[in-house]
Chains A and B, each alone.
Chain A
Amino acid sequence: MSTTGVPTSNGKYALELQDVHCYYGSFRAVKDVNLKLHDKKITAFIGPSGCGKSTVLRALNRMNDLIPGGRVEGRILLRGKNLYDQDVDPVEVRRRIGMVFQKPNPFPKSIFDNIAWGAKINGFKGNMKELVEQSLRSAALWDEVKDKLDQSGLGLSGGQQQRLCIARAIATQPEIILMDEPCSALDPIATLKIEDLMRELVKNYTIVIVTHNMQQAARASDYTAYYLMDRSDRAGELVEYGETDQLFTNPKDKRTEDYITGRFG
């Protein structure tokens, strides 16, 4: 058992992964992850394609359950409670841990309904209009869409759609927001906007972001976890985890250094 995840700082953790293994059917995609995610901080997952970043991310809010054959072993603790315990309802987990997906996936409904639906099903009581406005403002989308709230969310540009999905996720006021490459389809300006947005959001939320963009991870995150596929059994593993500044300037592992300096492959 390797213990690469080193907790630092104040010791307040949002999530704790202990000996996590992820399977698709009989295939072990990720092995032996131990990781403590810091509360109200941004943690970036980096690593080469196929190493299991998305898999780990999905394990955090039990989205893997939705994949036929998807299975997680080990413990993921939210305030000391294992998310994978028998008596834990995955619906509640997802309600507390929101997700923004790699590909923008707004509902084929109006912009307003895209946000209101999640609030409604989660039993939101209050001024829906204000919630929608506030969420859209938080996602830096309000000015662009305030005149066409009744138009289809599919009519927006790719970047706008992604921000709509972020607005949708924060409207339900989760504790943790998971973002899987939220900027992969965006231009540099929109990317910066999302990063500003994350900086803003992290005051209230714990954020986990998967990214292939080294600068983004360096710029925007507080902590970084580097994953790599073990060539022997093709399973992804956590190579190094630590404060972003330290990991980028002074990586402990040779493999991490190779990757961040672009000597990977």
Chain B
Amino acid sequence: MSQDLQPGNIGSYPEDNDLKKFIDNRKRGGLLWRLSFQLATLIAILALLALLYNIFNGAFGYVALQNKVDPNALVLAMEEDQMLSSPKTVSSEDDNELVKRIENNPNAIGFFGYAYYNDNTDKLKLVSVEGQTPSRETAESGEYPLARPLFIYSAADVMQENRAIGAFIDYYLTNVNTVIEDVGYFPISDELLNGATTSWSEAVGDQAEALQSYAANPADVSDHDIRISGSSTVYPLTRQMAIQFRRAGFQGGLDLQQTGTTAGFRAFCEDMTADITNASRPITRAESEACGDKKRTPVEFRVGTDALAIAVSSKNTFLENVTKDELRQIFTTAETWSDVNPAWPNEPIERFIPGADSGTLDFFAETVFNRKLPELTESELVKILEANISTGLMRRYEAEKPLAERSQAELVDLVLERVVEQKVVGSWKFTESLFNRTKIEEEVARIPQGELQWRSWISPKFLITPQSSTPELAGVRTALFGTLWVIAITILVALPIGVGAAIYLEEYAVMVANPILRRVNAIIQTNINNLAGVPSIIYGILGLAIFVRAIEPITSGTLFGISDPTTANGRTIISASFTLALLILPLIIINAQEAIRAVPNSLRQAGMGLGATRWQTIWSHVLPNAIPGILTGNILAMSRAIGETAPLVVIGASTFITVDPTSPFSKFTVLPIQIYQWVSRPQPEFRNIAAAAIIVLLILLLTLNASAVILRNRYSRRLS
């Protein structure tokens, strides 16, 4: 070592403690940088998570469905219809007639109010249901399935203001058990009756004594009118009580209607056209809330129990007990007893049922026929369709796809869409749905015919149904096809051109000796680099001018005579693809150039040193080694093209289109445009399907990228 390189002479390095401190300082600096990089990564991850959360949140959650027609009522009507139209079914208003026909026929079965059975116990055999025999106790407790409670409802202030009402209810509760068995129902236990009386006293408060005296002397409240509405089941009982009340001296107006329980509650709570309403079921929360809105607090009085008896002839030896499902089959589709249960005889079932107008028949149907729409068979669903939609519409559906060939799920959907006319009237995000469930339930309960359902907005159906103006019926099929077409053609156009240009620039342009040509090449290179940064909308304007307008005959397909008759212009898939191809061309060129440049020169020399031509060398050695890099660039370019909206809006992608694109000359829409359009709609449900469409777009993007990555990795592995 020469003298002047001795450190002491021209300078010095830190030693010992100084060295340690110096190294520590440098490390601290490095740590600071590392922390800031970690922070940046963290922020990026958080932003990504927030984005995904936001999308996911919109794509799943509760929806409130509102039906124009109650699907349960549809099922009921269909089953009732099946019951009434089955062969060997005799319907009669006269219960004695039914009893007479059943008593000597071992294959006969029938049902009627328990009271009628009770009068004919010697001729008939009672059949237990689900192992329960009807009695006052099992009916009252609800253990016997074909039983229901009977109520009357009024309100405290109604009874206080209208003394006739208060008095009539007291009279009712005091005397109901003297008539109820004659009407045909089970009397309730004293315990329940006392409970009803207590409710009455609490409701009328200090007027109790006065009202009780009026009940004993109804003539004194004749200056008031009584309006009663509601259940037709309770009606005969209330009517009996009203008759007796009159007999006891009441002179005022007495208006007694039978409208059905639900209409009765509406008359009482919302319209206030009734002061008392009969009910064969308890009031629902929604009905009660509707009352509360009108400052009426409904008070419930249990007055009796209704039960049906299933009866066969005393000569019948095989039937002791039936389940509800067996009952349904016995009274609808089954033809012989052995159809229902192989242990039973192969004899035709003969059915005897009350008249269609009777409340008994309805009650039987409601209790026994309580299947849900999705549980029905194909033929039953078709029956519902036939009964509810016009023959013209029926014919149209038949032409689209014969109903007999449709699956049960498709038929259910058709019934829901066409007959039930199910609509989404409210939707909640994923987190709301999880944490605010009770509030949502309350809200839905207030919607008439409302129903709460968990819904995944993204579903196989969403993928295969086209666009619709109703969000819950809309799908991304058209946009998905559009995106696939556009991307496929874009890549087919841009990749060969881009790679070709890159090969020229990297392999040939550098060898050009002519200084003018060299300049031209340099200018081209600079321009390509700059083009990568041009805003995409400008490509849209360019595409509009060139592809849509200038070469319209080509892009619309008219030149080849294969244009889509619905679009006689250049706003087609091929215009979009050309525009996007222009857009991603610089990206592909630059990446391919980089990839080609990264191929070691020694390989080119090796190839050409063996006497290969330049192209042979490029084809056999440069390109195969550049392909991984080229594919990486292609992934970036494809991702960019898939998500691009602005240029496609400019060249005129359709915003509402329901027909699948069939050729490069079809009009089209793509996923981002569909998403954009949905997001800008006012109805909140469109934002749910937009979120679902974003997920579809992301999955599509990931799949395409993943396949490119797999391809690339396979290629790289082959090379090493």
Could you list which residues of chain A lie within 8 angstroms of chain B, going by C-beta atoms? 61, 63, 66, 68, 91-92, 94-96, 98-99, 101, 103, 105-108, 117-118, 121-122, 152, 154, 165, 168-169, 172
Cβ of B610 and Cβ of A94 under 8 Å apart?
A: yes
Within the complex, what minimum Cβ distance (angstroms) separates B595 from chain A? 14
Cβ of B605 and Cβ of A121 under 8 Å apart?
A: no
A-B contacts, CB under 8 A, total: 68
Query: Which chain B residues numbered 241 to 284 have a C-beta less than 8 Å away from chain A?
Result: none
12 A-B pairs within 8 Å (CB atoms) are namely A91-B608, A94-B608, A95-B611, A98-B609, A99-B605, A101-B606, A105-B605, A106-B606, A108-B720, A122-B610, A168-B610, A172-B610
Q: How far is the CA of A66 from the CA of B510 in the complex (A)?
A: 10
Chain A residues whose C-beta falls within 8 Å of the C-beta of B613 in the assembled complex:
91
Chain B residues whose C-beta falls within 8 Å of the C-beta of A91 in the assembled complex:
608, 611-613
- B719 beta carbon closer than 8 Å to chain A: yes
Cβ of A107 and Cβ of B606 under 8 Å apart?
A: yes
Q: How far is the CA of A95 from the CA of B600 in the complex (A)?
A: 22
Choose among A92, A107, A118 the residue with the greatest number of B CB atoms under 10 Å from its CB.
A107
**Given A68-B511, A108-B625, A154-B720, A121 and B616 contact (CB-CB distance below 8 Å):** yes
Cβ of B611 and Cβ of A63 under 8 Å apart?
A: no
> 8 shortest A-B CB distances, which residue pairs?
A95-B611, A118-B610, A105-B602, A99-B609, A105-B606, A94-B611, A108-B719, A121-B612
Chain A residues whose C-beta falls within 8 Å of the C-beta of B616 in the assembled complex:
121
- B621 beta carbon closer than 8 Å to chain A: yes
Within the complex, what minimum Cβ distance (angstroms) separates B292 from chain A? 82
Within the complex, what minimum Cβ distance (angstroms) separates B715 from chain A? 11
Chain B residues whose C-beta falls within 8 Å of the C-beta of A96 in the assembled complex:
611
Cβ of B611 and Cβ of A117 under 8 Å apart?
A: no
Cβ of B611 and Cβ of A172 under 8 Å apart?
A: yes
**Given A105-B602, A105-B603, A117-B620, A63 and B609 contact (CB-CB distance below 8 Å):** yes
Chain B residues whose C-beta falls within 8 Å of the C-beta of A103 in the assembled complex:
602
Cβ of A66 and Cβ of B611 under 8 Å apart?
A: no
Chain B residues whose C-beta falls within 8 Å of the C-beta of A172 in the assembled complex:
610-611
Chain B residues whose C-beta falls within 8 Å of the C-beta of A118 in the assembled complex:
610-612
Chain A residues whose C-beta falls within 8 Å of the C-beta of B603 in the assembled complex:
105, 107-108
- B604 beta carbon closer than 8 Å to chain A: yes
Within the complex, what minimum Cβ distance (angstroms) separates A69 from chain B? 8
Query: Which chain B residues numbered 329 to 364 have a C-beta less than 8 Å away from chain A?
Result: none
| Contact for A94 among B609, B620, B625, B719, CB less than 8 A | B609
Chain A residues whose C-beta falls within 8 Å of the C-beta of B608 in the assembled complex:
63, 66, 91, 94
Q: How far is the CA of A143 from the CA of B608 in the complex (A)?
A: 28
Q: Residue-by-residue, is B600-638 near A (CB-CB < 8 Å gives 1, otherwise 0)?
A: 101111111111110010001100010000000000000
Cβ of A98 and Cβ of B720 under 8 Å apart?
A: no
Within the complex, what minimum Cβ distance (angstroms) separates B355 from chain A? 90
Q: How far is the CA of A118 from the CA of B621 in the complex (A)?
A: 12
Closest to A62 in B: B608
Q: How far is the CA of A152 from the CA of B716 in the complex (A)?
A: 13
Q: How far is the CA of A118 from the CA of B616 in the complex (A)?
A: 10
Known: A107-B607, A107-B620, A108-B625. 18 other contacts (CB 8 A): A61-B609, A63-B608, A68-B511, A94-B609, A98-B609, A98-B610, A101-B606, A101-B609, A105-B603, A108-B719, A108-B720, A121-B610, A121-B612, A121-B616, A122-B610, A165-B606, A168-B610, A172-B611
Cβ of B620 and Cβ of A63 under 8 Å apart?
A: no
Closest to B624 in A: A108
Chain A residues whose C-beta falls within 8 Å of the C-beta of B612 in the assembled complex:
91, 118, 121
Chain B residues whose C-beta falls within 8 Å of the C-beta of A98 in the assembled complex:
609-611
Closest to A114 in B: B606
Choose among B511, B600, B609 the residue with the greatest number of A CB atoms under 10 Å from its CB.
B609
Chain B residues whose C-beta falls within 8 Å of the C-beta of A121 in the assembled complex:
610-612, 616, 620
